[in-house]
Amino acid sequence: MAQLPHRVVIVGGGFAGVNAAKTLGGKPVSISLVDRRNYHLFQPLLYQVATGGLSPSDIAYPLRAIFKQNRNVEVLLAEVRDVDPQRKQVHLETGSLAYDSLIIATGAGGQYFGNDHWEPYAPSLKTIEDATEIRKRVLLAFEAAERETDLDEQLSWLTFAVIGAGPTGVELAGTLGEISRDTLHRDFRHIQTDRARILLIEGADKVLPVYPDDLSRKAERALIQLGVRARTGLKVVDISAQGLHVEGPRGPEFIPCRTVLWAAGVKASPLGRMLQQRCGAELDRAGRVMVDGTLNVPGHPDIYVVGDLAHVKQPDGAMVPGVAPAAMQMGKYVAHAIAARMGNKPVPAFAYWDKGSLATIGRHKAVADLGRLHFDGPLAWLIWLFIHLMYLVGFQNRLLVFVQWAFSYLTFNRKARLITGGLVLPELRAPRGTAPPATEDADAHPVLKS
């Protein structure tokens, strides 16, 4: 009787899962990659979709296409219902999968710190649907402002708040600044889009809190040039359809604001809790699984947790950050660990190689923290561009994204600013058309007359 190949089940087709599967692709194992989406998403550029600079398909690539040539990889479009570590099975809604090694790489979503009721008013940015929803809200806010005759209401539509000044928040706010100042300039007839207020709300006392002080200062200066006002040391107390209640050094404050975007924190995928119940895994406050040095759930050398769902301690006690390069490294590491264990070889502990941090601010500025080297301005932006293009899966996407960026850069044109998925116009308090009727000669503007 022929020996069965070692069966690896990978749950999640993000950076960690795809890199694990790709690395195992040439090895004598049989791999099932389970995801409820049929594509791999290049999340670091999701904010570009949310702001109309890129199309969803520019940053997403079908999983089946990625593994076309890897005949030992099977892609399954399914959701995980349960994990059974005793019988070594994963239960899907369509049946069960047996595994010899299990890799959980299901990442994280938006974290509202116990205030999940804020989510409808302040969507976070994790999926393509999030991105198109945010794009729709931003574009409809300008449309609503154009129709609004009450000046306070108009200002409220033209105020955009981004909560959280980490790299994603900085990128979102900077791009909103560009859109309002450059892209939409001259698109409207009754509003001046460059008067839009973009607020970047942060609880810490500076933007990019984990960056060195000099880069945080440079980032804030670059943001100001794009019309973004950073408001640091502010705690968000409540969010509603009308705006934000915040608490700062000067006491409580209400900011009227119709569009709020959430970039303040992540919560681990619910599979963490499942591992807690089934394998006694320990979770951190954000729901991440505390793994050991080989990225295993302690006591379960056949179950690995990688990517944003894993809480990995570095030798200095700090956590490996939830960024794409770390997820890629973990994915490749577990692939090698599984191969080593199959050959009864020793498995060295996972070591995170921190290549530095990069955050982009608008079209040609960025800050880069490469340890002792700090960059800012156009050079940092070029480094950022190069790295992101290098990592984009698939040659076609890479070139297309580059062409699109080149055009955006040269023309300030954001081509993907479509409002799709059913048009529900925001409710207006005093819409332009319902003003009291004017006499014929007093009303030189022909449109939206009662």
Among 84, 115, 152, 188, binds a copy of itself (CB under 8 A): 188
Torsion-angle region of 190 (φ positive above 0: left; ψ -120 to 50: alpha; else: beta) = alpha
Query: For residue 270, which phi and psi values (nearest 5 degrees)?
Result: -65, -15
Q: What are the structure tokens assigned to 82, written together? A: 């349960």
Q: What are the structure tokens assigned to 446, written together? A: 């022909």
Contact 390, 202 (CB under 8 A): no
Report how far residue 306's alpha carbon sits from residue 23's, in angstroms, rounded to the nearest whole number: 14
429: Cα within 13 Å, side-chain hemisphere: 13
Q: Which is nearer to a copy of itself, 135 or 365 (CB)?
A: 135
Among 43, 48, 55, 360, binds a copy of itself (CB under 8 A): 55
Residues 296-325 that bind a copy of itself (CB under 8 A): none
Shortest separation between residue 56's beta carbon and a copy of itself, angstroms: 6
Among 84, 152, 187, 214, binds a copy of itself (CB under 8 A): 187
Among 37, 88, 332, 374, binds a copy of itself (CB under 8 A): 37
Residues 393-412 that bind a copy of itself (CB under 8 A): 394, 396-397, 399-400, 403-404, 407, 411
The b/e string for 29-55 (b: 16+ C-beta within 10 A; e otherwise) is bbbbbbbeeebbbbbbbbbbbbbbbbb
64 scored as a contact of a copy of itself (CB under 8 A): yes
Contact 235, 247 (CB under 8 A): yes
DSSP string, 238-302: EE-SSEEEEEETTEEEEEE-SEEEE-S-EEE-THHHHHHHHH---B-TTS-EE--TTSEETTEEE
Report how far residue 405's alpha carbon sits from residue 178's, in angstroms, rounded to the nearest whole number: 14
Site string for a copy of itself, 411-430 (x = CB under 8 A): x-x-xxxxxxxxx-x--x--
Among 13, 15, 20, 39, binds a copy of itself (CB under 8 A): 39
Q: Which is nearer to a copy of itself, 186 or 372 (CB)?
A: 186
Shortest separation between residue 378's beta carbon and a copy of itself, angstroms: 23
- Which H helix or E strand runs over 361? none
Among 95, 252, 270, 293, binds a copy of itself (CB under 8 A): 95
Shortest separation between residue 98's beta carbon and a copy of itself, angstroms: 5
Contact 332, 20 (CB under 8 A): yes
Report how far residue 137's alpha carbon sits from residue 128's, in angstroms, rounded to the nearest whole number: 14
Shortest separation between residue 114's beta carbon and a copy of itself, angstroms: 26
Residues 114-153 that bind a copy of itself (CB under 8 A): 128-129, 132, 139, 143, 147
Among 13, 17, 20, 30, binds a copy of itself (CB under 8 A): 30
Shortest separation between residue 290's beta carbon and a copy of itself, angstroms: 29
Shortest separation between residue 407's beta carbon and a copy of itself, angstroms: 5
Report how far residue 418's alpha carbon sits from residue 13's, in angstroms, rounded to the nearest whole number: 27
- What is the arrangement of strands in the sheet containing 80-84, beginning at the earlier edge strand? 80-84, 89-92, 95-98
Q: Which is nearer to a copy of itself, 62 or 301 (CB)?
A: 62
Shortest separation between residue 163's beta carbon and a copy of itself, angstroms: 26
25 scored as a contact of a copy of itself (CB under 8 A): no
Report how far residue 367's alpha carbon sits from residue 211's, in angstroms, rounded to the nearest whole number: 9
Cβ contacts of residue 90 below 8 Å, gap of 6+?
9, 11, 34, 80, 82, 83, 84, 96, 97, 99, 102
Among 28, 82, 84, 96, binds a copy of itself (CB under 8 A): 96
4 scored as a contact of a copy of itself (CB under 8 A): yes
β-strands 289-290, 310-311 pairing: parallel
Among 82, 94, 225, 314, binds a copy of itself (CB under 8 A): 94
Residues touching a copy of itself, count (CB under 8 A): 81
Shortest separation between residue 92's beta carbon and a copy of itself, angstroms: 6
Q: Which is nearer to a copy of itself, 25 or 394 (CB)?
A: 394
Residues annotated catalytic, as ranges: 171
